[in-house]
Structure 1
Amino acid sequence: MTVPFVLLVIGALTAAMAPRLLSRADWPEREPVLALWVWQCVVAAVLLCCVFAMALTASATWSAVRGHVFAFAPPGVEDAYGLPGYGRWAGALAVTLALGGVWTAAMLTREVRTARSRRRVRRAGLRERAPRLPGEVVPAGERLVVLEDDRSDAWWLSGAQPQLVITTAALRRLKGRQLDAVLAHERGHVQARHDLLLHCSDALADGFPQVPVFAAFRDQVHRLIELAADDTASRRFGRLTTALALVELNEPRGVFGPAHGPHAELPGRVSRLLAPAPRLPLGRRVRLTAVSLLVPAVPLLIALGPGLHALT
């Protein structure tokens, strides 16, 4: 049972070490989009290790599974894995990993259903507070909804037809390009489909709270998507304008006082926009992208290694 054991060890080491290494790095805040990509590669590597280990141990235990896994394998590949020698623990490990996979699918399904339910409730609330006028024709694509509200706020509703929502209080506070910057920030979320990352990270963290890499993934996704959207707005309207827009939009909430509350990251985002660190050199960005691709490639090579060796 060498290959499944190595896969599980690699997965455990990746899950334990990657969050520590990334938390100590100084570049994710400078390159939030790249950091999101690296985090996705790390999580994919951990999941691949579990999937491949489950497939091999189940193949060693049940011939029906083995027939499906090695259905298209050339002669000699199946023998290269030494499946009959995996021992009696292979079945228990396969069942445990399979239950983990079923639980992951269940948590993802629950997250999707919960998100859809929340969207339906919020869209119903929008229709009630901002009903369409008689004869109003809504153009295809994005629709901006303005709500009468004394609270200064702006947000986006994900889904098949994303909607940008802004309150009248925010319109009174934001002037000119500041309003454009806020809308560009929200459109950045929509265009990058950040809702998918949020759903996946929340599902994994809620389903496996004892696994630190999933909790760190959720925390970092929530932070990095905001930095990425800030960068989207600042590229079009400037960092100073975007920073002032964040201040004007959120100052009534008291987030810049001594007690930040749930929006504690906002002062840091404003400071980042006002005193930006230089972007990483192109060469280093390319190297980080390539190295991150190697992370999920490692379990793939380990799982396929014996079969590829048998073909040579």
Structure 2
Amino acid sequence: MITSVALAGYAALVGAAVPPLLSRARWPHRAPVTAILAWQALMVTFVVATALTVHHLVLSEQHVHEGFVGLLSICGLAADAPVSASAPTPGHALALSTPAVIVLLPFGWFVLCTWRARRARQRHLNMLALIGEPAPGHDATVVDYGAPAVYCLPGRRHRVVITQAALDVLSDAQTRAVLEHERAHIEGRHHLLHLLVDAFSRAFPRLPLARYAQEQIALLVEMIADDRALRHHSRDALATAMCEVAAGRAPQGTLGAGGPGALIRLRRVLTPQPRPHRVTWLGVVAVSAAAPLLPLLLACGP
């Protein structure tokens, strides 16, 4: 019982208490890649801790005292698990199925979200085949639309799209900077991060971790693309381009240059901050790696 309470408390800490603290921290905007790792570690930790909590609550009295080893014994994975020809009891089946549902639920939503996003991108590609034209001097597709917007369709048949209105208001340097931002999304496969956090949010709706992770990862992904564009283009060019296309809305299943938190990103581009100290970076990585392992250690205890 003590183990169940400890695991439940750990899941509540990760799912409700830590996310607002991490969202208000300053270092994630200076190290967006590491920050995304931290958010992903929190999501994995919550799933593991919740599944193990349920396992301890529904497991039979015999295996409650054996901790996580009891679950391995039911599965026949423990080294000293006895070989039994009898069929598993209903209690054993419940002890296995309930945690399995918690673990598999996000994966199921991920498959469904991926399928939906792929269908939306395919519909948009079919539309671009009818109304899109090659952008002169740029590896992109132009659509005749009155609002300035730039976005990309990720995946195998990836495409960078820019509206004619954006070409009209952006200089050549600004256009190249914002197109580089979109190519960073494609090459970094950032759409997969969106799909992962979307699946987690649908699997655990109203969970504070899901809400904060969805907001922060969407912002951090845009910051990563901004950093990639700044490798080859000036800050003024990217910042001006961001202002011009900030109001443009990207279609479903795409990633737009405007993106979330445009004002925060604009301030970050114009006033660069030093990267976190190496000790801070190593500490975040170490905690992110250890966080999902702690509930396993708790569950392995007698």
The interval holding the TM-score normalised by the smaller chain is 0.7 to 0.9
CA shift digits 1:4-35 (9 cap, x unpaired):
44323211221122112202311112221111
Structure 2: distance between partners of 1:264 and 1:199: 16
**AA in 1 matched with 2:183:** R
Whether 2:278 is the aligned partner of 1:282: answer: yes
**AA in 2 matched with 1:75:** D
Match of 1:125 among 118, 124, 127: 127
Aligned to 1:16: 16
Query: Deviation of residue 293 (structure 1)?
Result: 1.6
Query: Deviation of residue 246 (structure 1)?
Result: 0.9
Aligned to 1:258: none
Select the structure that is richer in helix: 1
Aligned to 2:185: 189
Whether 2:110 is the aligned partner of 1:114: answer: no
Aligned to 1:75: 80
Query: Deviation of residue 184 (structure 1)?
Result: 1.4
Contact 1:59 1:69 in 2 (8 A): no
Contact 1:58 1:94 in 2 (8 A): no
Change (3 A) 1:195 1:13: same
Whether 2:29 is the aligned partner of 1:29: answer: yes
State TM-score, norm by structure 2: 0.79
Query: Deviation of residue 283 (structure 1)?
Result: 2.7
- Give 3-state SS (helix, strand or coil) of 2:292's partner: helix
Unaligned residue ranges in structure 1 (runs of 5+): 79-83, 133-142, 254-261, 307-312
- Give 3-state SS (helix, strand or coil) of 1:237's partner: coil
Unaligned residue ranges in structure 2 (runs of 5+): 64-69, 84-88, 250-257
Contact 1:54 1:94 in 2 (8 A): no
Structure 1: distance between partners of 2:126 and 2:153: 12
- Give 3-state SS (helix, strand or coil) of 1:155's partner: strand
How many equivalent residue pairs?
Answer: 280
Change (3 A) 1:115 1:125: same
Whether 2:241 is the aligned partner of 1:245: answer: yes
**AA in 2 matched with 1:217:** A
Structure 2: distance between partners of 1:275 and 1:67: 53
Q: How does 1:104-183 map to 2 (within 5 A)?
A: 104-130=106-132, 144-183=140-179
Contact 2:133 2:141 in 1 (8 A): no
Contact 1:156 1:190 in 2 (8 A): yes
**AA in 2 matched with 1:273:** V
Structure 1: distance between partners of 2:91 and 2:80: 27
Structure 1: distance between partners of 2:72 and 2:246: 59
**AA in 1 matched with 2:168:** R
State TM-score, norm by structure 1: 0.76
Q: Percent identity?
A: 29
Structure 1: distance between partners of 2:157 and 2:297: 40
Change (3 A) 1:298 1:112: same
- Give 3-state SS (helix, strand or coil) of 1:236's partner: coil
Query: Deviation of residue 195 (structure 1)?
Result: 0.8
Query: Deviation of residue 191 (structure 1)?
Result: 1.9
Query: Deviation of residue 236 (structure 1)?
Result: 2.2
Aligned to 1:229: 225
Structure 1: distance between partners of 2:261 and 2:174: 20
**What is the CA RMSD across the aligned residues, in angstroms?**
3.5
Structure 2: distance between partners of 1:107 and 1:76: 34
